[in-house]
Structure 1
């Protein structure tokens, strides 16, 4: 079957191609409501699919945004992508989602793909020492916004972040006020800037309180398996531990699985504190006490900021949002 063209719709509706184009793109045009409805009905019956490439050549826009996502299996990023997609839909933008799985070569490959698709802008959720996203996007003059995970670069860029220093400080002081003095910290991988920021904040606050113990720090990936493995390594040291602060909720889920399977009671034996407040944190048993990042708001703000840069040529800016403590059942 041949592709349906604007000319086909115009012929059936007995109007010009320009009229069809204006109506289907919801542009202001002096036609009756009956004609407008007729054009849209014919387009739907013929299953007309707009040629976005052709349209982009004339309008210089595709109304498509790209998202570079580090791990679709991580609920934190899934929730954020959902927020971005909803806000993009509101502004009549479509989304191309690319999962890099924290592989910077794959990230670069997807960036080149998005550029070749003439996307109007990109939201970058992955980042770290190996990321070349900023250089690639700047070189190709593509508007972009970095969210959650900082990218180390000498270039300026727009970003939406939660205040990691504040969030970690709130968490450590909360555990300290609960009488915990042997607080372990499970950090993310060193190649991720956000992981380093959270660890540095933990070290600073723990030292300020006089409770920092390097032996109670483990490094692993921001995954359930990472949380499980790091907790195993921590507990095999036979150090005294009365609380574990995980730098992501998914790590905390893996850590709790290890603890409970090995006879530890949470929170009676060991208190557990997470970071992010993903949806599942309130669904597990015991419910996870955590430092909440405003995940949905971060995604929404990132999309709004990017579209402002595209449609209104707004300047780059950084937005910081505040974390907060969500008390549930894993800290005693």
Structure 2
């Protein structure tokens, strides 16, 4: 499994399309807009007139969390405040943790008034898909992790017959709504080959409508060819962006594009173009062992790359992968 992060915008659109198949009560507003550095904000408002008439939320959509703690979250804002926030932050360099990068992309959506915030996520291991749920969602979920219920679901289980009620805390008046929502979410997770899905938080309105507020997701990109009617559509495939602050070299971008076109796995990360030790290893586990060994022997500063090829790539793709590494090795004369 090769896990790839996707934008929050794409994750919400995928849920909006797929979740009603299993949880018909999911009536998402589908009001999402993205502002980038070259976006004409006035034109964006014309295309999404709700921005001018409703209070909105604006936040970066670049694969990093704790946006509220970083003062990069605008809540309950009018149109003028939204425009000012975009103007102040797009293309601005900021530091998230120890990573510096530019804000290149902002997600705009309606502000949903709510009192309580809930947490749900789904992860996987070798034997189970695991549902995680808590009443204490929001930016302090890590501090409240002991409040999270962890429910392993054996692989292949039909979730519609699984006794989820007895595994969850007392949900009160929202019991039927939350259980149906989580079961539907689980089916989307499995059917669409998610590798990780987190909604933190989601809110429940007075009329018992569930609204996902913040979503993080990773997909198993080796399953892309199985989902040509959704995120693997060859005419409009989902984007797998680089992490915040990361810039791909030409060679890394080439291998990533190859990787997205095959059910095999092709990975390349350039660590040091001037390095004198380069690897071309078959298998993700082997690549880790080789890299650790090189570092343990004291040659980490000479290591040129980290990568692997596995899953039976075609002869053509293997040749391109090999030639790319050879070109990198021979780019500079041996001193």
TM category (shorter chain) comes to under 0.3
* TM-score, normalised relative to structure 1: 0.23
Max radius of gyration: which structure?
1
* TM-score, normalised relative to structure 2: 0.23
- 1 or 2, which has the higher strand percentage? 2
- 1 or 2, which has the higher helix percentage? 1
